[in-house]
Copies of this chain bind each other. A is one copy, B any other.
Amino acid sequence: MLEKNKCFGCEFQSSATKFLKTEELEKLEKCSVGISFKKNDIIFKENIFSSNVIYLKKGIIKLHKKTSSKEKIIKIVKSPNYLGIPATFNEKFHYYSATALSDTIVCFIQKEKFKDFIYSNADFAYKIIKCLCENEIILLEQCFNKSKKNVRGRIAETLLFFYNKIFHKKKFIIPLTRDEFGKYIDTSRESVSRVLTEFNNDKIINLTAKNVEILNEKLLEIISENG
């Protein structure tokens, strides 16, 4: 659904666009559209040529990709954040699909205009560089952690990720099905079920369907570290 899009004084302004001057913000407003998505709506699909920078203004989304029948969830991203800058700036197709995990608002910004701001405003450019740098470090951590932990460790880590990085509350609703959870941490839905019920039995979490409350954060951290 098309949203009225106001860049000047936008309550969800990105840390980069805060550096844009009034006339640049007016330009931005003209070259961008805001669109709202409902849970499970596809925001963009992999292998589509990317001609827009995408700004996740509000909501939580998953980035995912298919290979020969199997699917993997690469990343879970919360607003505010840019999506698909790498594909867009390399004149490439989107490497992954993006699907809303909650009701979401997204701005599509014309690539060429976005690039103009990089050329006209060095503070903006530097901020974009910093965003890309942060993303790379997060991705590195993710790769590294995943390869060094067993299933229990990865599930503990993910529960802590939801708590610390997404919801900031010990009580939350897992925004994934068991199957999606498995596709995120590279395991089967059955293993996710088993470990979650184990954590529940051990009073580390309180689990009812998708509702979780973290009861023993300390222990969850230990499991996350040592498997």
**A139-B137 contact given A122-B122, A126-B125, CB 8 Å threshold:** no
Q: Is A186 an interface residue (CB 8 A)?
A: yes
Q: Is A141 an interface residue (CB 8 A)?
A: yes
Q: Are B148 and A89 in contact (CB under 8 A)?
A: no
Distance in Å: Cβ of A117 to nearest Cβ of chain B: 10
Distance in Å: Cβ of A84 to nearest Cβ of chain B: 10
Q: Are A146 and B144 in contact (CB under 8 A)?
A: no
Q: Which residues of B contact A135 (CB under 8 A)?
A: 136
Q: Are A85 and B147 in contact (CB under 8 A)?
A: no
Q: Is A142 an interface residue (CB 8 A)?
A: yes
| Cα(A122)–Cα(B137), bound, Å | 24
Of A5-13, A37-45, A66-74, A168-176, the one with at least 4 CB within 8 A of chain B: A66-74
Q: Which residues of B contact A96 (CB under 8 A)?
A: 140
| Cα(A29)–Cα(B107), bound, Å | 42
Chain A residues touching B, range: 35 or more
Q: Are B90 and A134 in contact (CB under 8 A)?
A: yes
| Cα(A120)–Cα(B141), bound, Å | 32
**A85-B133 contact given A118-B126, A125-B125, A148-B67, CB 8 Å threshold:** yes
In this complex, what residue of B is CB-closest to A121? B122
Distance in Å: Cβ of A57 to nearest Cβ of chain B: 21
Q: Is A151 an interface residue (CB 8 A)?
A: no
Q: Are B147 and A72 in contact (CB under 8 A)?
A: yes
In this complex, what residue of B is CB-closest to A122? B119
Q: Is A128 an interface residue (CB 8 A)?
A: yes
Q: Are A70 and B140 in contact (CB under 8 A)?
A: no
Q: Which residues of B contact A125 (CB under 8 A)?
A: 118, 122, 125-126, 129
Q: Is A60 an interface residue (CB 8 A)?
A: no
Instruction: Return 10 A-B CB contacts under 8 Å, by A number.
Output: A68-B226, A72-B144, A89-B133, A119-B126, A125-B126, A129-B129, A132-B136, A135-B136, A143-B143, A143-B146
**Supplied contacts A68-B226, A90-B130, A139-B140, 18 more A-B pairs, CB within 8 Å:** A65-B144, A67-B148, A72-B147, A85-B133, A86-B136, A89-B133, A90-B133, A90-B134, A95-B137, A95-B140, A115-B126, A118-B122, A118-B125, A122-B122, A132-B133, A135-B136, A139-B143, A147-B186
